[in-house]
Amino acid sequence: MSDNLRREEQLIEQLAIADMFKPVRCTCGGIYDLGTVEVTGRYTDCSVWRAPCCGRTADDRGETGWKSTQDYTVLGKANPGGFRTDGERWWP
């Protein structure tokens, strides 16, 4: 993949998630906002919901370390300085 194409994809992703509270990428590849999901169950070690992109049951145990595989990956959002919230630059 060329660098220009990768940068263009990153910019499109940043525009898509700009208004999201906590954007995540599902294991199916879809992107959704954790701040808007409807929680279907709460337990002592996790919360459970259906991913809006594919309907799979997802939980947050991967984020807390209770299970080895995650149902989603948290996406870093760009701030005005050009850095994502995880500290990496998203454009050269």
Q: What's the whole-model pTM score?
A: 0.68
Rounded to whole angstroms, the Cα distance separating 64 from 42 reads 14
- 3-state helix/strand/coil string of 15-33: HHHCCCCCEEEECCCCEEE
Instruction: Give pLDDT tens digits along the chain (92 positions).
Output: 567 767 767 676 777 777 888 888 899 988 899 989 999 999 988 899 999 999 999 998 887 777 888 899 888 765 544 555 555 555 44
